[in-house]
Amino acid sequence: MLPLLWKTLLDLKHPVILWRLFLPFLISMALVSLMGYGFLALFLTGDWITQNAYVVEFNETATQAEQWVSGIPLVGGLLVWAVTLMFTLMVGVVGLLLGSYLVLLLAMMITAFMTDSLIKAIRDIHYPAIDYQGHGSFFGLLIKMLGYGALLLLLLLLGLPLLFIPLVNIVWLWFLGFLFFRYALVLDVGQVILSEPEFQRVRSIWLTTPTLGLMLLYSATILPLVSFFIPIIGVIFLAHWMLSNKAREVN
């Protein structure tokens, strides 16, 4: 896994790959800046949210609970401070995760249109003797990704109580996000390089090399701005893994 990751990072110096690396960053930055934050601000500050009966009732209940805890002798104020700090940290981390997921999703969508050319560039540089012929279509890829995304969304709704448990909510969101990230990239690259039977043999999440490599890359998306570049790096990593497997089969 580590040699493939190192080989992937070294590929970023090639001009044919380097300009593609920054394309999702530029497009995603423009889209997020123009739409994402504006819609989020409108959603959070609109009267239909702030004046919603459930929201108002929740705020009143929270205020009453805070006043009751504050009235506890000696430790009341300390408890309020500790709970407030924990809640603030939890909301901040969850918000950071969700924000990075939005950026990552946009970058993945943009990268999907460049997968073919990226894989061809990797093949021409490292595996010129290897021929490949994929399977499926872009429309089929889109349908499968939407179906898998809907399944994970249903799983998120079923596990909604987990979002209110500190630390567990972070791990839960991270795990669901990783499942979609891995599924989408393996499917995207696999449809270009592998035949249907070959793809069925490598799609399992229990294959350690692709899963651990993508897990390491996905973990880096928590860092600011890194989410813009990870899908491209993930495609290059998987292309190396699949094409090197083909090279070993030929030899």
Contact 4, 241 (CB under 8 A): yes
Specify the 3-state DSSP secondary structure of 13. coil
Q: Which residues, in sequence order, are CB contacts of 189 under 8 Å at separation 6+?
A: 115, 119, 235, 238, 239, 242
Interatomic CA distance for residues 13 and 222, integer angstroms: 24
pLDDT given for residue 119 in this prediction: 93
Domain enclosing residue 116, as ranges:
2-250
pLDDT at 1: 76
How many structural domains are present in the chain?
1
d(C-alpha 102, C-alpha 105), whole Å: 5
pTM of the complete model: 0.76
In this prediction, residue 192 carries a pLDDT of: 92
**The pLDDT value given to residue 185:** 94
Ranges assigned E (strand) in 86-165: none
pLDDT of residue 247: 85
- Please choose, from the candidates 118, 109, 94, 70, the residue with its C-alpha nearest in 3D space to the C-alpha of residue 228: 109
- Centroid of chain to Cα 106: 10
State how far the Cα of 103 lies from the Cα of 245, in Å rounded to an integer.
31
pLDDT of residue 74: 59
- For helices 15-31 and 76-112, the axis angle rounded to 10 degrees is 130
Backbone φ and ψ of 116, nearest 5°: -60, -50
The single residue listed with the structure tokens 């599924």 is 183
DSSP class per residue in 182-215: HHHHHHHHHHHHS-HHHHHHH--TT-HHHHHHHH
Residues 6+ apart with CB under 8 A from 188: 111, 112, 115, 141, 235
CA dihedral 113→117→118→124, nearest 10 degrees, is 170
What is the rounded CA–CA span in Å between residue 251 and residue 239?
18
pLDDT digits (tens), the chain, 251 positions: 788 899 999 999 998 898 888 888 788 777 766 665 556 555 555 555 555 555 556 556 656 665 665 666 655 566 666 666 666 666 555 555 666 677 788 888 888 889 999 999 999 999 998 888 888 888 888 899 889 989 988 998 888 788 777 778 888 888 998 999 999 999 999 999 998 998 998 888 899 999 999 999 999 887 767 888 999 999 999 999 999 988 887 76
* Residue 232: per-residue pLDDT: 93
> Which pLDDT value is given to residue 156?
84
Amino acid at residue number 23: L
* Joined tokens for residue 140: 């089929």
Tell me what pLDDT residue 65 has.
Answer: 61
Q: What's the Cα-to-Cα distance from 168 to each of 85, 87, 88, 154, rounded to whole Å? A: 17, 14, 16, 18
